[in-house]
């Protein structure tokens, strides 16, 4: 859980009006030096709109602080994956990993709850939609140690028992992406989009894509997320870069191959023509109207998810961890800038995975990133490594990118991912040295 630090005597207010104009029931005096746990926050004019963990006088939990009088604790996050990672393979591993993260100074966990067409929590919704026995799960290389476990419940239990107070964000990592061998593809074939030329469900990255325009897909997603928010004590839901419609495959030379553009099955084309009166996009996969229409269908699903979360639990946030905006819009039809401006997302964790400091700086200095930072908590995602094991990032670059993030007063940072940060690191370092250096970065409280 994050905290807000009170720098001087100030009022927690029911509105952004001057405190002198408010009566005693509309404000509560908070003394300098106080640190209050908060569930969420965003900037509004010269104030922070805050939802506290506990009520403050007659104002309650939701109210406003004048921004010059307070500072918000830095978000220090890490993604916990089921792929290429050991931390989730047993409850003992999970306990040891969380203890290590707490001792190092982390406060936010992005825990995978959906990957490879499989859920890592108890879900009646998923059970009603598809069956996933162990033999079928072998086909998608799902780690056998994870089958049948409720990882979300396990991590919540450890967090509460040990009083770690991590923010726990349920991360729907694979989004609309599902491997071709997943049971969901075979059992719900009408739910998936088709490519333009190849007329199959496999996109340019070798995966299938759920159709956000399909009413049953929308119902599945909304119901799945409602189930998590209702049944688990979490701080938020996160969608990431795979919550997307592939518009084209980017080739190594920078050109785009529209043969892999998704959404050309008859259901979607007929719906598009019915709603727009346009010609079929089959003859022109680059048709601008079709691109915009598909982009809006994805936005409509985000709206449904946001409304569902808020109806179930108002202080549960919707976070998103997309690619930088240009690529996200052009390749994935995911316009996170529009979502942020509409108030649909309450935390941006931007995947700024760059191999040098200069290109990293260019991404976080872009105007849309600065604009988001001034409104909602904007976290910079920093790459610590990918599989295979030889693709690990040296600590000097991790440290430099963390420092660049702090210097620009972002809400914080998140490392992708636990294993490449703390377990499978470059051979030029030892785990003990890595932990020592990381502890030095995280040793003191940081506020933004």
Q: Give the domain CATH number at 47.
A: 2.30.30
pLDDT in tens, 175-209: 999 999 999 999 999 999 999 876 778 887 789 99
Are residues 118 and 18 part of one domain?
no
Are residues 239 and 357 part of one domain?
yes
Burial of 7 (0-12, 13-18, 19+ CB in 10 A): middle
Q: What is the per-residue burial (b if ≥16 Cβ within 10 Å, else e) of 33-58? A: ebebebbbbbeeeebbebbbeeebee
Are residues 83 and 64 part of one domain?
no
Are residues 99 and 15 part of one domain?
no
Does residue 155 form part of some domain? yes
Domain that holds residue 133: 74-442
pLDDT band at 389 (very low <50, low <70, confident <90, very high): low
Are residues 120 and 83 part of one domain?
yes
Six token digits for residue 410: 């972002």
Six token digits for residue 272: 């598009």
CATH number at residue 346: 3.20.20.80
pLDDT in the model for residue 302 = 98
pLDDT in the model for residue 263 = 93
Are residues 114 and 10 part of one domain?
no
Does residue 447 form part of some domain? no
Does residue 87 form part of some domain? yes
* pTM of this structure: 0.95
Does residue 408 form part of some domain? yes
Does residue 448 form part of some domain? no
Q: At what angle do helices 357-364 and 395-407 cross, to 10 degrees?
A: 30
Q: Per the structure, how many domains does the chain have?
A: 2
Are residues 156 and 52 part of one domain?
no
pLDDT in the model for residue 435 = 94
Are residues 347 and 255 part of one domain?
yes
Does residue 78 form part of some domain? yes
Does residue 300 form part of some domain? yes
Are residues 67 and 45 part of one domain?
yes
CA–CA distance, 343 with 345 (Å, rounded to integer) = 6
pLDDT in the model for residue 136 = 60
Domain edge (last residue) among 48, 71, 94:
71
Does residue 361 form part of some domain? yes
**What value does the mean pLDDT take over residues 204-227?**
95
């Amino acid at each position: 859980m994050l905290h807000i630090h009170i720098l001087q005597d100030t009022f927690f207010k029911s509105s952004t009006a001057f405190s002198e104009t408010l009566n005693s029931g509309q404000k509560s005096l908070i003394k300098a030096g106080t640190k209050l746990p908060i569930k969420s926050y965003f900037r509004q004019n010269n104030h922070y709109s805050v939802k506290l963990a506990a009520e403050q006088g007659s104002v309650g939990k939701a109210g406003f602080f004048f921004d010059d009088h307070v500072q918000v604790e830095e978000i220090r996050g890490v993604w916990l994956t089921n792929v290429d990672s050991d931390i989730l393979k047993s409850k003992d591993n999970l306990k040891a990993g969380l203890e290590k993260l707490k001792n190092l100074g982390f406060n936010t966990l992005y825990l995978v709850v959906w990957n490879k067409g499989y859920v890592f929590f108890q879900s009646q919704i998923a059970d009603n939609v598809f069956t996933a026995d162990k033999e079928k799960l072998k086909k998608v290389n799902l780690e056998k140690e994870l089958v049948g476990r409720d990882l979300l419940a396990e991590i919540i239990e450890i967090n509460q028992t040990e009083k770690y107070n991590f923010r726990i964000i349920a991360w729907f990592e694979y989004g609309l992406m599902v491997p071709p061998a997943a049971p969901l593809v075979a059992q719900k074939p009408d739910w998936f989009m088709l490519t333009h030329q190849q007329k199959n469900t496999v996109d340019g990255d070798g995966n299938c894509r759920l159709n956000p325009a399909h009413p049953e897909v929308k119902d599945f997603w909304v119901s799945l997320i409602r189930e998590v928010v209702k049944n688990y004590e979490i701080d938020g839901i996160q969608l990431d870069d795979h919550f997307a419609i592939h518009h084209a495959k980017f080739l190594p030379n920078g050109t785009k191959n529209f043969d892999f553009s998704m959404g050309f099955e008859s259901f979607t084309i007929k719906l598009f023509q019915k709603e727009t009166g346009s010609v079929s996009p089959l003859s022109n996969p680059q048709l601008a109207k079709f691109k915009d229409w598909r982009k809006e269908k994805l936005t409509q699903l985000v709206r449904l998810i946001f409304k569902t979360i808020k109806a179930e639990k108002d202080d549960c946030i919707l976070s998103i961890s997309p690619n930088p905006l240009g690529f996200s819009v052009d390749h994935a039809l995911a316009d996170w800038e529009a979502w942020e401006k509409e108030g649909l997302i309450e935390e941006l964790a931007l995947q700024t995975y760059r191999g040098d400091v200069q290109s990293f700086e260019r991404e976080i200095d872009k105007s849309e990133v600065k604009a988001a930072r001034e409104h909602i908590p904007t976290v910079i995602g920093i790459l610590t490594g990918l599989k295979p094991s030889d693709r690990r990032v040296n600590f000097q670059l991790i440290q430099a990118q963390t420092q660049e993030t702090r210097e620009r007063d972002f809400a914080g940072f998140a490392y992708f991912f636990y294993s490449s940060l703390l377990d499978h690191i470059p051979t030029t370092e030892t785990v003990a040295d890595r932990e020592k250096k990381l502890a030095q970065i995280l040793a003191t409280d940081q506020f933004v």
